[in-house]
């Protein structure tokens, strides 16, 4: 008979999590850095008591909003390059469903996130329990079924012993480089409190290491053959480069073989800005240098990227009809997109073995030189947009320039949705891996401040600057209070353009009448809302000020470095200005029928642009 230990299911879950370990920089550490928790009747008794007992081994962190605490956990895992992660627990009903959006973020971005929402009573005696959603045609359904489509693995724990296979399966998903993503264990609230005699072996310490899949010999040979035939090759570096910690391997590969590198939003900072072969951002929000190289390329080595529409310009960017795509990726779903030749492997190992098999082969020198010259020309153009000016309301690009001038390149910057990501991808000069953190896979407004928490927790010695627009700030800002409460210092630059400036510009570009985006187009009052963001931030315990100019902003940023807690600096910006250099067309469908001539003209332009799409060839 094996030895057992009698615990409640919640106690068993928490104890199991404390026994999962990993190695970071040669040091063994718990793989779960903590559990974010907002308690309600569906988890306060069961999970709450269990977390209290293990609070020294698994820190419990309290946030203000369930979605934002999950965003913090996601940002932590991303910054840690999936080596460590966090878990989240909520009550049932609205508390649980608040995390569905965050689950989608983790799902799209391929990031580990353990969600443990409370669920209905498994015994169904008090049905319908408070916050239970009753399905008239399915007695087994609960609100948590919403997690199924945004989870890599989902299970409902309706008996204490079900935890044993469920947690083992959860860990394999959370640590798998190909299937990594959110795991949801819907935890029936009565089961949380039920006891069971768990085998002691279930709680044995387990060390999880990074799996590095090596390429198949046949796929490797084909990739080498195709690359050797290339006259105009390019590397597209995606987030998988960072997850694999393959930056040095990518740098060595590019230099040895003379291949220019372009970066996706997820892959930006794979190479330092000053790397001789880094041409910067690619696609819709890309540099002119990157996009020209991609348009001409005859071989595209796509490393760790999903090749989403912003990267490919809705598949209008790669114009060479003879091009071949090699998909170097751990996940075959991504590696075979658009008839790519798959090279299923870890990014670091795949690049190293590709290089070894290529030997001394390199791209034609004229191609490499042309790419470098193109980037120099781009930087001359880009510097004009970030230069300081005296406009009453500066552009986003000018604010980016001010942040970089004031704080230098040796900082980490974080952002998410809106117009800022496009400007940052083109113009931000990242200096070290994972110093550029954009949630642009799901482009989730409200991610920024919560994400900043997670990033700072993962990089406590780094200066973390969160750049956020007023629209995104208004959606989710309550974790300012959490940052003060937990002593996690952030610098938040809040760009106030009085509404949704990015979508307002897109609406105008597609022929639409400008409305319902900026306050002054959408107010029934004589004066549009004048939100005092400084007082609002101060009310949550942050230090806050408003910069009257770019010069004031730079002074405030330098001063913020010595502040003892989170600092918010607000600056008014122009909603109508964006960087018009660089970039590629993006497929946003324009109505075929409209009485407005502006829409009719935009439709004609749209139809012409559609002819550049090269889907499937």
pLDDT tens-place string over residues 299-350: 999 999 999 999 999 999 999 999 999 999 999 999 999 899 999 999 999 9
Report strand pairing: 567-572 vs 182-188: unpaired
Q: How confident is the model at residue 522 (pLDDT cuts 50, 70, 90)?
A: low
d(CA 490, CA 482): 11
pLDDT tens-place string over residues 348-377: 999 999 999 999 999 999 999 999 999 999
d(CA 187, CA 122): 9
The residues near 514 (Cβ < 8 Å, ≥ 6 apart) are 504, 507, 508, 521
Task: Decide if pLDDT at 523 tops 60.
Answer: no
Report strand pairing: 27-30 vs 4-8: unpaired
Task: Say what the pLDDT of residue 530 is.
Answer: 85
Q: Is the dihedral of CA 313, 315, 319, 324 positive or negative?
A: positive
Task: Say what the pLDDT of residue 516 is.
Answer: 86
Identify the three-state secondary structure at position 492: strand
Q: How confident is the model at residue 260 (pLDDT cuts 50, 70, 90)?
A: very high
8 A C-beta contact, residue 532 and residue 545 = no
Identify the three-state secondary structure at position 378: helix
Task: Decide if pLDDT at 1 tops 80.
Answer: no
pLDDT tens-place string over residues 435-473: 999 999 999 999 999 999 999 999 999 999 999 999 999
**pTM score, whole prediction:** 0.97
Q: What average pLDDT does the chain have?
A: 95
% of the chain exceeding 90 in pLDDT: 91
The residues near 287 (Cβ < 8 Å, ≥ 6 apart) are 279, 280, 281, 375, 378, 382, 426, 582
Alpha-helix runs per DSSP H in 26-84: 46-53, 66-79
Domains of the chain: 4-208 (3.40.50.970), 217-377 (3.40.50.1220), 387-572 (3.40.50.970)
> What is the mean pLDDT of the segment spanning 493-512?
91
Task: Decide if pLDDT at 406 tops 70.
Answer: yes
How far lies 169's CA from each of 114, 163, 172, 411, in Å?
A: 12, 10, 5, 37
d(CA 434, CA 450): 17
Q: Which has the closest alpha carbon to 17: 66, 59, 45? A: 59
pLDDT tens-place string over residues 93-130: 999 999 999 999 999 999 999 999 999 999 999 999 99
> What is the mean pLDDT of the segment spanning 367-391?
93
Task: Decide if pLDDT at 267 tops 70.
Answer: yes
Task: Say what the pLDDT of residue 616 is.
Answer: 62
Report strand pairing: 195-199 vs 4-8: antiparallel
Checking 334-340 for CB contacts under 8 A at 24+ apart, the result is 334/305, 334/306, 334/307, 337/306, 337/307, 338/307, 338/615, 338/616, 339/616, 339/617, 340/302
Task: Say what the pLDDT of residue 498 is.
Answer: 87
8 A C-beta contact, residue 98 and residue 67 = yes
% of the chain exceeding 70 in pLDDT: 98
Q: Which has the closest alpha carbon to 74: 458, 467, 490? A: 458
Q: How confident is the model at residue 514 (pLDDT cuts 50, 70, 90)?
A: confident
Q: How confident is the model at residue 236 (pLDDT cuts 50, 70, 90)?
A: very high
Residue 395 neighbours by CB distance under 10 Å:
23
Q: What is the DSSP string of 75-120?
A: HHHHHTTTSSEEEEEE-STHHHHTTHHHHHHHHHTT--EEEEEEE-
């Amino acid at each position: 008979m094996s030895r057992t230990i009698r615990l409640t299911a919640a106690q068993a879950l928490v104890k199991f999590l404390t026994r999962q370990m990993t190695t970071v920089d040669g040091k063994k550490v718990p793989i779960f850095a903590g559990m974010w928790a907002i308690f309600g009747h569906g988890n306060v008794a069961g999970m709450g008591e269990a977390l209290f007992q293990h609070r020294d081994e698994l820190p419990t962190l309290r946030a203000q909003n369930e979605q934002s605490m999950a965003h913090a956990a996601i940002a932590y895992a991303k910054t840690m390059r999936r080596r460590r992660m966090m878990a989240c627990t909520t009550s049932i009903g609205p508390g649980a469903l608040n995390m569905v959006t965050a689950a989608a973020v983790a799902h799209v971005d391929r990031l580990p996130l353990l969600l443990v929402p409370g669920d209905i009573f498994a015994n169904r005696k008090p049905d319908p329990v408070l916050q239970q959603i009753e399905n008239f045609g399915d007695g087994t359904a609960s609100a948590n079924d919403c997690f199924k489509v945004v989870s890599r693995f989902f299970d409902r724990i309706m008996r204490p012993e079900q935890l044993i296979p469920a947690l083992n399966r959860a860990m394999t998903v959370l640590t798998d480089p190909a299937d990594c993503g959110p795991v949801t264990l819907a935890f029936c609230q009565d089961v949380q409190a039920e006891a069971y005699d768990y085998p002691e072996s279930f709680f044995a310490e387990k060390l999880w290491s990074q799996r590095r899949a090596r390429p198949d010999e046949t796929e490797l040979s084909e990739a080498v053959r195709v690359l050797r035939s290339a006259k105009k090759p390019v590397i597209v570096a995606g987030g998988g480069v960072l997850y694999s910690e393959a930056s040095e391997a990518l740098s060595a590969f590019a230099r040895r073989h003379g291949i220019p590198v372009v970066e996706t939003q997820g892959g930006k900072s794979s190479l330092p800005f000053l790397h001789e072969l880094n041409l910067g951002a690619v696609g819709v929000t890309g540099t002119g240098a990157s996009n020209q190289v991609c348009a001409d390329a005859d071989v595209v080595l796509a490393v760790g990227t999903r090749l989403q529409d912003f990267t490919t310009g809705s598949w209008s960017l790669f114009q060479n009809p003879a091009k071949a795509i090699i998909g170097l990726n751990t996940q075959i779903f991504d590696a075979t997109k658009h008839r790519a030749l798959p090279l299923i492997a870890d990014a670091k190992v795949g690049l190293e073995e590709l290089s070894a098999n290529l030997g001394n082969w390199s791209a034609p020198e004229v191609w490499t030189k042309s790419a470098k010259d193109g980037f120099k020309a781009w930087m001359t153009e880009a510097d004009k947009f970030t230069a300081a000016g005296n406009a009453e309301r500066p552009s986003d690009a000018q604010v980016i320039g001010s942040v970089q001038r004031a704080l230098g390149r040796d900082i980490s910057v974080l952002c998410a949705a809106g117009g800022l990501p496009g400007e940052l991808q083109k113009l931000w000069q990242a200096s070290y891996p994972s110093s550029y953190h954009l949630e642009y896979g799901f482009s989730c407004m409200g991610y920024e401040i919560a994400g900043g928490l997670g990033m700072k927790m993962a990089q406590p010695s780094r200066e973390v600057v969160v750049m956020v627009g007023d629209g995104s700030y208004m959606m989710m800002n309550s974790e300012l209070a959490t940052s003060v409460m937990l002593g996690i210092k952030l610098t938040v630059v809040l760009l106030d353009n009085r509404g949704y400036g990015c979508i307002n510009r897109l609406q105008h570009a597609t022929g639409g009448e400008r409305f319902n985006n900026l306050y002054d187009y959408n107010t029934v009052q004589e004066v549009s809302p004048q939100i005092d963001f400084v007082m609002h931030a101060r009310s949550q315990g942050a230090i806050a000020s408003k910069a009257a100019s770019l010069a004031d902003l730079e002074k405030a940023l330098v001063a913020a470095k010595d502040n003892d807690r989170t600092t918010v600096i607000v600056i008014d910006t122009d909603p109508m200005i964006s960087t018009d250099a660089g970039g590629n067309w993006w497929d946003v469908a324009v109505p075929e029928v409209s009485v407005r001539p502006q829409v009719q003209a935009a439709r004609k332009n749209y139809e012409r642009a559609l002819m550049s799409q090269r889907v499937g060839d």
